[in-house]
Amino acid sequence: MSAAGTHVLVTGAAGFIGSSLCDALRARGDEVTGLDNFDPYYDRALKEANLAALRRDPGFTLVEGDLLDRAALDAALARGARKVVHLAALAGVRPSLAEPLRYLRVNVEGTANLLEACLRAGVEELVCASSSSVYGARSRVPFSEEDPCDRPASPYAASKKATEVVAATYVHLHAALRIACLRYFTVYGPRQRPEMAIHRFVRLALEGRPLPVFGDGGSGRDYTFIDDIVAGTLAALDRLRSMPEPFRIYNLGGAQPVLLRELCAAIGEATGRRLELAAQPEQQGDVPITAADVARAGAELGYAPRVPLREGLARFVAWYRQV
């Protein structure tokens, strides 16, 4: 199933996932309007590099603006988008501990602002990014969309759960709306933010510096390659009208949790370096494991993760060596 030829608004278009998704939308023939505020969470030059090819593409337009700016949202939607993929958010568990109110405002109020703008513009179909962090510090795996998510372990996680609740409320109040919330599980690959674990560890490994390992290395993450996330997001975008319910949550993960010590070993193989690990205390807000049950996404979206960790790491290292 394809929605090729649709005009799509992508918020957070200059980021890691956003720019990758915009590339895929344009490759299949969709017109794309991107919205991004170039928040200084990391260097704007990196985001501009993500957009370099898109800026030369007449089928892509970038609107620089903020989720908290009603006029910017109206201007972005005024270009004619009929669907929205909402990726823009303040990201990161640890930074949210220092700025909880800002995270809640941008991520929750910003999402509500976008939904209000969609109602004004007559846009009825949205895909909204959520996060595996909403599951909190649970140890029973895999995580199912039906699991309770009422004890987030960080302000970031709380903000993402709240955005799901806001989206569900708007669908309840406005019968025409159809929204899919996608819980992404630890996405990695080319263009990944520089502070994220795989990007940081590869950089340190190639520089011959120690890798900081928090705790005993026994925490686990369900690492998901960017190509699989983009494929799952496109599938959700195309199937909004065929969802069993007008509001639906889907896990998008690699379905194969990897321990931190195993990740370090795999990075050593991918970089060809002997690694030194530097033990660090466990971090507040971290969770012991994430693991996605992707059965619902498989049955309803045709989602199936295809890139195993070692292949994904090899692709990431090859990209890193080129930039």
188 noted as active-site residue:
no
- Per-residue pLDDT for 254 more than 50? yes
- The strand pair at 258-259 and 220-221 is best described as antiparallel
Q: Which of 103, 156, 184, 250 is catalytic?
A: 156
Tell me, yes or no, if the pTM score tops 0.75.
yes
Share of the chain above pLDDT 70, in %: 99
Structure tokens that stand for 23 in this block:
């590339």
Model pLDDT for residues 256-277, shown as the tens digit of each residue: 899 999 999 999 999 999 999 9
- 3 state SS of 62: strand
pLDDT tens profile 58-75 = 999 999 999 999 999 999
Q: For the beta carbon of residue 269, count every other beta carbon within 10 angstroms.
A: 13
Interhelix angle for 16-27 vs 44-55, to 10°?
0
Residue 2 has pLDDT above 50, yes or no: no
- Does the pLDDT at position 42 exceed 90? no
The secondary structure of 197-225, three-state, reads: HHHHHHHHHHCCCCEEEECCCCCEECCEE
Alpha-carbon gap, residue 315 to 273, rounded angstroms: 16
**Per-residue pLDDT tens digits for 201-219:** 999 999 999 999 988 888 8
The pLDDT value recorded for residue 84 is 98
Residue 285 confidence (pLDDT):
78
User: Which tens digits make up the pLDDT trace of 280-299?
Assistant: 888 887 888 999 999 999 99
Write the CA distances from 100 to 21, 90, 91, 154, 262, integer angstroms: 28, 10, 12, 9, 32
Token code pair at residue 112: 């509500």
Q: Tell me, which fold does domain 7-184+226-253+293-305 have in CATH? A: Rossmann fold (3.40.50)
Closest CA to 93 of 103, 101, 106: 103
Residue boundaries of the structural domains of the chain = 7-184+226-253+293-305
Q: Which residues pair with 250 in a beta bridge?
A: 182
CB atoms within 10 A of CB 318: 11
Q: Which tokens sit at 312?
A: 């994904």
Residues 21, 23, 26: CA angle, nearest 5 degrees: 110
| Structure tokens given for 134 | 């909403």
Evaluate the CA torsion angle 313, 182, 102, 43 in order and state its sign: positive
Q: Cα angle vertex 68, ends 65, 69, to 5°?
A: 55
Task: Supply the pLDDT for residue 4.
Answer: 53
Beta bridge partners of 11: 35, 86
Per residue in 125-161, pLDDT (tens digit) is 999 999 999 999 988 899 999 999 999 999 999 999 9
Residue 170, token pair as written in the block = 């708007």
